[in-house]
Chain A
Amino acid sequence: MTMFKGAGRLSRRGFLGAGAGAAALAAGLRPAHAAGLTVGFIYVGPKDDFGYNQAHAEGAAAVKAMAGVTVIEEENVAETVDVQKSMESMIQFDGASLLFPTSFGYFDPHILALAPKHPDVRFQHAGGLWSAEKHPANVGSYFGYIGMGQYLNGVVAGHMSKTKKLGFVAAKPIPQVLMNINSFLLGARSVDPSITCQVIFTGEWSLAVKEAEATNALIDQGADVITAHVDGPKVTMETAAGRGAWVCGYHADQTALAPEKYLTGAEWNWPVVYTRMAQTMLDGGTIDNFVRGGLADDFIKMSPLGPAVTDAARAQFEATKAEIMKGGFAAIKGPLMSNTGAVVAAAGEAFEETDVRLESMDYLVEGVIGATS
């Protein structure tokens, strides 16, 4: 449980934030909702995209079901001054005291610009690297070790692939994406070290036709298991399954899109995480500023294994999952080279899932066909 240890002491002002609703009611500033906790969620795209935004919206739905909590949501909010004003509008008009602006691009400069103006409001951001020296105390960043999920995807993919070639449709070569590509391949290589993974970057988080073209190009080059890291993997899943390839999901459960071809998927478990955070606020506590968690902490989860998954794949999947649940698992461990020949990890060196250095990953490991720039 990473959430309740660490930097909590730093956020004394955040503690005041929990009582903000009551304080504001006394001052006569806040309407209706002030008695309980009002939580605002902001999404960069549609909240039913079978992907990034849907995963967060499922978390919001769980928070909505809590007693004493009001949830307000906004979709399709751009990473411009728009999001600053959306956040402020939620604070001003709805008395929100806990905000989840969920897109990565909201953090710097938007959340960082607004947070100091509203010290009694808590801003929770997915994926950012909060640091006590640089960032306001009423801002927190949280994220999950989703790379472990992609590693497990890779384990199943490694068993199912006949061509020994996997395909990855990726948006942009940023650390969070590179981590997933590397983990997917390393998971597969734990089954068969001869497997390779081809990556195609579409350059955009959401671009349906290009994602479909990338999927087709990967399959044309022989890839027979496909996964993706774009905002909404729906198009990739449907296109790949339509071509007869296996698919591994990402962000949310995409079983319904390809029931026969879906192997498993790396999913966020935001309902657990968000209800936990909202409960902390309701109880008058303080959410830690820097929170990370993995499978064991219920930050991520795996989609149910699909009907086609073989017994051997299932067995290794379960065994690896149990290993990860114990904690201290390292997908990146030496000796390991990058695909440009640089040493990623020397023999005996291991980067455990919690290693913060992984969050600035700038390489693709040996066996990945693709480039970081």
Chain B
Amino acid sequence: MTDAAASRALAAPSAEGALAALARRAEAVAIPLGALLAGVAAFSLFLALLGHSPAEFFALVWRGGFGTAFSWENTLSRAAPLLLAALCVALPARLGLVVIGGEGAIVLGGLAAGATAMVVGWAPGALGLPLMALAAMAVGGAWIGAVGWLRHHRGVNETIASLLMAYIAIALLNHLVEGPLRDPASLNKPSTPPLPDWLRIGEIPGVGVHWGLAFGALACVLAWVLIERTRWGFAARIAGGNVRAAQLQGLPVGALILGFTALAGAMAGLVGFFEVAAVHGAANGSLISGYGYAGILIAFLARHNPLAIIPVAVLVGGLEASGGLVQRRMDLPDATVLVLEGMVFVAILLGETLYGRFRMFRPELWGRA
């Protein structure tokens, strides 16, 4: 809505038109930022009431998350898996679907990558790595795609189905990694066989973070293009608003749901692929690390806008990165960061109610009494 109006305004040649467009766009930035500040303020009050210094806390967050070159490396390392994990929530959200089981596609994607490496260990990286990534995307895509299929063809609630399937996926991972796919040499940490060196992904030169970060950012940009600039994205938004209306218009709602959920699952599968190829070097229980659930937080904070996922993931990554420093310096529990995230999350959602309430963001009201 806002975007369509904005592009109409952009077409207008007058300076006033440009200002109006800016005002409309500014709302989408100003309200979340204001909400973020409100959440931070609430958290500061919380800390102060408990006798801790909010100033010290945020100074440590700055230092631990953004203050030094290492802090940035730390922050970006933690943000890398969150980008793709958030897409697993944001893409189906365009169709009005709430998928919370991305964790399942992540662990199975990682398992698929590890298992594929057992078969293609002979292949050079240029062949083996794409095969592993494809396997991860296929398995992840099938897993969440099944959720979409069940939603459309059987009427099964996607939120619940994806959650149940995440538990099942974790059981499958554990069963296979500790049973049929276990490397006998992985004694006390049951894993698939270690990847050969040529099937491992290194760091982006000069950044100190693996290539998953760049792929994640690229995927966010492409997802934005898909949603905002293609007819599939447009159709998905209509279907998300009203399924019946979309069907009356002849839109292939079933195909859209299947396509978007499968794509979402493929993104989550890629998280698993990068975890295996760039971090763990094998598939094992460490894949169950909660990135899928963190992705829900990121996607909602970004209001399911793929471009906004990038800064939000960096912000959350920075918070997580500084958590250790906060624990050590202020003697606060590790859950402190979780409390802050929760408060900001609530504040940003409450901010939704403010859209359209400020005159300064509504040029059509300017000049009226």
Contacts and interface: CB of A to CB of B under 8 A. Distances in A.
- In the complex, A touching B (Cβ < 8 A): yes
Nearest to A96: B328
Interface string A60-97: 00000000000011111111111011101110111000
Interface centre among B178, B184, B187, B286 (most CB of A within 10 A): B187
B77 interface: yes
A174 B327 contact: no
A88 B63 contact: no
Given A89-B324, A94-B328, A81 B279 contact: yes
A129 interface: yes
Nearest to B182: A373
Contact of B174 (A74, A175, A203, A359): A203
B325 A174 contact: no
Interface centre among A81, A82, A94, A107 (most CB of B within 10 A): A81
Contacts of B290: 78
A360 B187 contact: yes
B187 A174 contact: yes
B178 A173 contact: yes
A43 to B, nearest CB: 10
A108 interface: yes
Contacts of A107: 189
A75 B68 CA distance: 23
A317 to B, nearest CB: 29
B189 A105 contact: yes
A368 to B, nearest CB: 18
Given A93-B63, A174-B190, A203-B174, A85 B179 contact: no
A85 B328 contact: no
Interface in A160-179: 172-176
Contacts of A89: 64, 70, 74, 321, 324-325
Contacts of B328: 72-74, 90, 94
A105 B288 CA distance: 13
B178 A373 contact: yes
B83 to A, nearest CB: 14
A104 interface: yes
Contacts of B78: 81-82, 85
A74 B327 contact: yes
A19 interface: no
Contacts of B74: 85, 88-89
A127 interface: yes
B159 interface: no
Interface string B63-79: 11000101001100110
Interface centre among A80, A84, A86 (most CB of B within 10 A): A80
Q: Is the interface of A mostly helix, strand, loop or mixed?
A: helix
A109 interface: yes
Contact of B188 (A78, A90, A93, A175): A175
Given A104-B189, A203-B174, A373-B178, A77 B279 contact: no
B151 interface: no
Interface string A278-322: 000000000000000000000000000000000000000000000
A359 B185 CA distance: 11
Contact of B189 (A84, A85, A108): A108
A63 to B, nearest CB: 15
Nearest to B334: A76
B281 interface: yes
Interface in A103-139: 104-105, 107-109, 127, 129
Contacts of B70: 88-89, 92
Contacts of B281: 108-109
Contact of B286 (A79, A90, A93): A79
Given A81-B77, A82-B78, A127 B188 contact: yes
Contacts of A76: 334
Interface centre among B77, B188, B190 (most CB of A within 10 A): B188
B280 interface: yes
Interface centre among A86, A93, A175 (most CB of B within 10 A): A93
B278 to A, nearest CB: 9
Contacts of B333: 75
Given A82-B78, A89-B74, A373-B178, A77 B324 contact: yes
Contacts of B184: 362
Interface in B42-94: 63-64, 68, 70, 73-74, 77-78
Contacts of B320: 82
23 contacts: A73-B327, A73-B328, A78-B286, A81-B78, A81-B279, A82-B78, A82-B320, A84-B77, A85-B77, A86-B324, A89-B70, A89-B74, A92-B70, A94-B328, A105-B189, A109-B279, A109-B280, A174-B188, A175-B187, A176-B188, A359-B187, A362-B184, A373-B182
**Which 8 residue pairs are nearest across A and B when measured between Cβ atoms?**
A79-B286, A85-B74, A174-B188, A72-B328, A80-B289, A76-B334, A86-B324, A92-B70
Given A81-B77, A89-B70, A107-B189, 7 more contacts: A73-B328, A81-B279, A85-B73, A104-B189, A109-B281, A175-B187, A176-B188
